[in-house]
Amino acid sequence: MNANMKCILCVEDEPEMIDLIRLILGRRGFEVKGANGGVEGLRMIREEKPDLVLLDLMMPDMDGWEVYQQIKADEKTRSIPVIVVTAKAQSIDRVLGLHIAKVDDYIAKPFQPQELLASVERVLQKKAA
């Protein structure tokens, strides 16, 4: 495996969405792992320490905000950037995410592949800076 390959964990309750994200980002050389829901996502974040987390908000077992709070509350995972990828696209949700919760970016579903790629690359560059 390429040492420079960035590992991205997609926490999402829809396997088709994980596959789509894997397809889009895999073409650019990212390693994409999927976690089915918030509980599995948190476990994998703690074990794998990915370079970036793509986080859905609406999941049946644990909602994305709860996952996000636990990531940020843990010293070992606090520095991992998080991009929210969600169908919750009202502008109030964006404001809450970006300005109050301080997520690294907020992408509304359905999204354009280029929008996802640009966001991932921008957030990873910001982290590297």
Model-level pTM? 0.91
Tens-digit pLDDT profile for residues 28-60: 999 999 999 999 999 999 999 999 999 999 999
- Per-residue pLDDT, 125: 95
**CA-to-CA distance for 27 and 49, rounded, in angstroms?**
22
pLDDT at 1 over 50: no
- Per-residue pLDDT, 67: 96
Q: How far is CA 50 from CA 7, 45, 62, 96, 121, in A?
A: 5, 6, 20, 24, 15
Which domains occur in the chain, in start order? 7-128 (3.40.50.2300)
Length of the chain: 129
Query: What percent of the chain clears pLDDT 70, i.e. is strictly above it?
Result: 92
**CA-to-CA distance for 59 and 108, rounded, in angstroms?**
15
* Tally: H helices and E strands in the chain: 5, 5
- Per-residue pLDDT, 50: 98
Tens-digit pLDDT profile for residues 104-125: 999 999 999 999 999 999 999 9
In this structure, are residues 13 and 36 in contact, taking their beta carbons and an 8 Å threshold? yes
Q: How far is CA 53 from CA 28, 38, 75, 83, in A?
A: 17, 12, 16, 6
Average pLDDT of every residue of the chain: 91
- pLDDT-derived band at 91 (thresholds 50, 70, 90) equals low
